[in-house]
Amino acid sequence: MYRQSSCLRPAYRALQRTSNSSLAKSFPALSRPSSSRRLYSASTALKTSPTSLLRPVLPSPRIARLSSTPPVRNCSYRRHNMCRTQALADVASGVNVQSRELLPANVIPRHYHVTLEPDFEKFTFEGTVLIDVDVADESKSISLHTLDLEIHSAKVTAGSETISSSVNVAYDEHTQVSTFSFDNAVAKGTKAQLEVSFTGQLNDKMAGFYRSTYKNPDGSEGIMAVTQMEPTDARRAFPCFDEPALKAEFTVTLIADKKLTCLSNMDVASESEVQSKISGGPKKAVTFNKSPLMSTYLVAFVVGELNCIETNDFRVPVRVYAPPGQNIEHGRFSLNLAAKTLAFYEKVFGIEFPLPKMDQIAIPDFAQGAMENWGLVTYRVVDLLLDEKVSGAATKERVAEVVQHELAHQWFGNLVTMDWWDGLWLNEGFATWASWYSCNIFYPEWKVWQGYVTDSLQRALGLDSLRSSHPIEVPVKRADEINQIFDAISYAKGSCVLRMISTYLGEDTFLEGVRRYLKKHAYGNTQTGDLWASLAEASGKSVEEVMQVWTKNIGFPVVTVTEKGDNTIGLKQNRFLRTGDTKPEEDQVIYPVFLGLRTKEGVDESLTFDTREADFKVPSDDFFKLNANHTGLYRTSYSPQRLEKLGVAAKQGLLSVEDRAGMIADAGALATSGYQKTSGVLSLLKGFTTETEFVVWNELIARAQSVQMAWLFEDEAVRDGLEAFLRDLTCAKAHELGWEFTENDGHIQQQFKAMLFGNCGLSGDETIIKAAKEMFAKYMAGDKSAIHPNIRGSVLGMALKHGGKEEYDAILNFYRTSTNGDERNTALRVLGRAKDPELIKRTLDLIFSGEVKDQDIYMPTAGLRGHPAGVEALFTFMTENWDRLVEKLPPALSMLSTVVAICTSGFTKPEQLARVEKFFADKSTNGFDQSLAQSMDAVRSKISWLERDREDVAGWLKENGYLK
């Protein structure tokens, strides 16, 4: 799954290239991902649970409420291997299966036949499911997951014998488990079948089997029925064993009007005419071929009016679907890329794609960026459909990464699946790494590994530098905890760990280990140790011993370098916290640090630093740098003298682009935490004005903006001085490159020009502001060629920042009238730049207006965090509308956590933090507690930073002429 947080990658990048970029780094939710993701959760991305807006589900007379949970199954690893030996192995590997809320192990699901008929008028669906099970223990009950389903009837058969046609059903609301009890026991070793008839809710919460709406070309509203099962919402669609280790085969039948298209994971086996249970009239029943063994969270089906394009460039048909109102030809880029990517992954992974087709579909209401359902990948419209005439280079790169991320999951996640959600990173970390790896192969001119240093790596280090972070392998006990781990740790840090080990082992060896892992565990479930074992087998190195430290512990180290003379450097590692107040008990872990020592002789990847302190020899003390290309997961703290020498080395061409960008990122982060003075970092940034590379400039600007955002509530003169500094930093280069775009501009050059144009103009450059106003006027008058797509967001942002109601109305009308998702998103994101109280209120009112889809409500709100009035208004709005927000965005999904983080993370003062703490003191934070804790930690970090360096920054600004 690509998170709209790990979906918020586009928002993150947009922010990074305009005046709010530091928000994304201090606020992991705006990084993503959540795959698949899904992405960067819109908080650290996006997704939610229980149902206050849904029609109440009334139990039938025979359904009782349970106050206790059903018996707990203690072994979830491989269901066919339910034995004490496996339980002991799990304990030995540090897996606490006994703390998980799991279904009883008395039966094992083997096959489901699910039949569903959606009702587009009542927003419900009628369903039956026949589940074939193996009976592991003599049983008089079967427990499985259900949520918002009204059970009508159930019966149990074994062979030709009906065990019970009168089944009692008891429901445990806490665990979302229905227990089906019957009078006659089913014998151990037999095969049985449970048949259940039910009604479900075709909800509007973007979870389970739900409804999505869209505008038809004639302006009328269309409805389609779609799915999002990950992580635990298959239980909303049909009664099931909703745990990833309980793989089974699935046969799906969809009943619908004959004019509608029906899709599922597999290809169509048959189609027949049937009588509708809902209308009584004739409809079609589309039955799909039986799937391979797979987890419930990967089951998918769609019913709706759809257009389609297809290619036969791959071994099996590849298609893109979209509802009416979307130009299906805009799916051509993703279609062709998917065909090439599937062929590429078959070669890289050494296993053929096992399904008979690959469908991709654009869904108008979708909480994530995309979801990797096997054979039927679902996407946000903007993450699948690309109109290159109205979208910039960054959007194209985003679409390519999302498509390649989801297709990597077809092997890593679908074919081989983590056994439980604490192994989520196995899915998301690998798919994130694979998307960068394949993008680099397909589009070498994009230089994505350079961007990795300022994107995935900084998102990972940013979130993991908070006390409220979590391990890559995070213990998960209950369903309501799962959504919160779709964040920058599972996605970005997971991918960084894989990047680190692939560099250490060598890419070819790493991929050989991956191939062995996939072949050994195909159609099964794994734990992290299984991957390490395959990599160890391929490399001959003790991978698990080294890597489990990185996956089972929170945080990462800062390595402090002391130069001792005689070509010797002393290294010391300590846990790095952004707040700069690491306690001794928090600094117990010793990380195996791959040093990646760069000297004039090249890069030595063999050195590992795995003690608290150690000395290392360097060939010469005139030039060395640790963490070559920044493939290691750590910060490096040099002396001011060494930093100065590295600055000279950069100008001499001795450092790679990744080295330069990473060195700036480290310096900025170390200033935040008190290892260095902020004045020194500002001087470092000022010394890079001759830099020529986009990625390095990206990081220069982001670090300058991080100071701006931490100083957001300081004296206006200081804020103006920081803005003037950013203007001086960027504008000479912006004017040098210009803001005209030609066919000769490459992918990176387009983004470079756009970034400098936006940051220079938004920091007050009169020439660019004048040009932007002229473009804006022509564009809003109907000349769509007046603004190039690469700078559309910046131009609209400048128009609002230096305009008023007239510009606001024009942009809002543009949002309402545009039919292009990318254009509409751009308009939404810039609305928050307006500072007038009346306009701020109008922006916030959009949340409940019905004009903005629930999937997009983070967009207008996020823009408000760029100025003090907006930050204050966000918190006030949240507190005054809390009950409405909870009703609209159920906490167990993920959008509420995104909104909470947006509304609280912009603060910088102790009294503001106290207001946040007081507001939530008497409220349940289940479903977003981790996001809230991370937001407050980010605020604490800014408070500490200001206390240390408030006068230091003021002094530097005055000394450099930015403050009188």
**Residues paired with 360 in a beta bridge:** 320, 377
At 593 the three-state DSSP class reads: strand
What's the pLDDT at 97? 58
What's the pLDDT at 661? 97
Token code pair at residue 382: 């903007």
Compute CA distances 359 → 95, 285, 716, whole Å. Answer: 36, 20, 54
Q: Of 397, 630, 611, 426, nearest to 525 (Cα)?
A: 426
The one-character DSSP state at 657 is: H
Q: Are 43 and 474 a contacting pair, CB within 8 Å?
A: no
Compute CA distances 680 → 23, 116, 562, 945, whole Å. Answer: 22, 64, 18, 14
Collect the ranges in the chain with pLDDT lower than 50. Answer: 5-95
Cis peptide before 231 (omega within 30 of 0): yes
Task: Phi first, then psi: give them for residue 116, nearest 5 degrees.
Answer: -135, 145
Distance CA 517, CA 613 (A): 35
294 sits in which H/E element:
none
What residues contact 849, with CB distance under 8 A and at least 6 apart? none
Strand order from edge to edge, sheet including 208-215: 208-215, 221-228, 301-304, 261-264
pLDDT tens digits, one per residue of 219-251: 899 999 999 999 999 999 999 999 999 999 999
Q: Are 140 and 163 a contacting pair, CB within 8 Å?
A: no
Residue 398 burial (C-beta neighbours within 10 Å; 0-12, 13-18, 19+):
buried
Distance CA 944, CA 937 (A): 11
Task: Phi first, then psi: give them for residue 761, nearest 5 degrees.
Answer: -65, -45
Cite the annotated binding site for Zn(2+) by residue number: 405, 409, 428
Look at the alpha carbons of 335, 337, 338, 340 in this order and tell me if their dihedral is positive or negative. Answer: positive
At 61 the three-state DSSP class reads: coil
Distance CA 195, CA 128 (A): 7
At 440 the three-state DSSP class reads: helix
Compute CA distances 83 → 73, 133, 417, 649, 851, whole Å. Answer: 11, 18, 20, 60, 54
Cite the annotated binding site by residue number: 405, 409, 428
Distance CA 349, CA 803 (A): 54
Look at the alpha carbons of 20, 35, 202, 148 in this order and tell me if their dihedral is positive or negative. Answer: negative
The one-character DSSP state at 490 is: I
Q: Which amino acid is at 142?
A: I
What's the pLDDT at 891? 84
Q: Given 3-state DSSP classes, what are the helix, strand and coil percentages for the chain, each rounded to the nearest 5?
A: 45, 20, 35
What residues contact 679, with CB distance under 8 A and at least 6 apart? 949, 952, 953, 955, 956
Q: Of 511, 297, 538, nearest to 421 (Cα)?
A: 297
Distance CA 723, CA 611 (A): 43
**Residues paired with 563 in a beta bridge:** 569
**Residues paired with 240 in a beta bridge:** 145
**Residues paired with 126 in a beta bridge:** 117, 199
Distance CA 602, CA 605 (A): 10
What residues contact 834, with CB distance under 8 A and at least 6 apart? 800, 801, 804, 808, 840, 843
Q: Which amino acid is at 854?
A: D
Strand extents, DSSP E, 187-326: 191-201, 208-215, 221-228, 249-256, 261-264, 268-275, 282-288, 301-304, 307-311, 318-322
Compute CA distances 782 → 164, 776, 777, 799, whole Å. Answer: 70, 10, 9, 16
Distance CA 320, CA 306 (A): 10
**Residues paired with 616 in a beta bridge:** 569
Distance CA 128, CA 230 (A): 21
Compute CA distances 478 → 98, 244, 247, 853, 933, whole Å. Answer: 12, 13, 19, 29, 19
CA 865 to chain CA centroid, nearest Å: 21
Q: Of 301, 297, 244, nearest to 117 (Cα)?
A: 301
Distance CA 760, CA 318 (A): 44
Q: Which long-range contacts (CB under 8 A, 24 or more apart) does 952-961 make?
A: 952/677, 952/678, 952/679, 953/678, 953/679, 953/682, 953/707, 953/711, 953/718, 953/722, 954/718, 955/679, 956/678, 956/679, 956/682, 956/683, 957/718, 957/721, 957/722, 957/725, 960/682, 960/686, 960/725
Cis peptide before 40 (omega within 30 of 0): yes
Task: Kindly list the catalytic residues.
Answer: 406
Residue 2 burial (C-beta neighbours within 10 Å; 0-12, 13-18, 19+):
buried
Q: Are 853 and 420 a contacting pair, CB within 8 Å?
A: no
The one-character DSSP state at 448 is: H
Q: What is the CA radius of gyration of the chain?
A: 28
Token code pair at residue 830: 């810039």
Length of the chain: 964
Q: Of 370, 450, 452, nearest to 408 (Cα)?
A: 370
Distance CA 89, CA 865 (A): 49
Q: Are 138 and 189 a contacting pair, CB within 8 Å?
A: no
Cβ-based neighbour number of residue 108 at 10 Å: 17
Distance CA 246, CA 108 (A): 7
At 744 the three-state DSSP class reads: coil
What's the pLDDT at 283? 97
Distance CA 72, CA 105 (A): 8
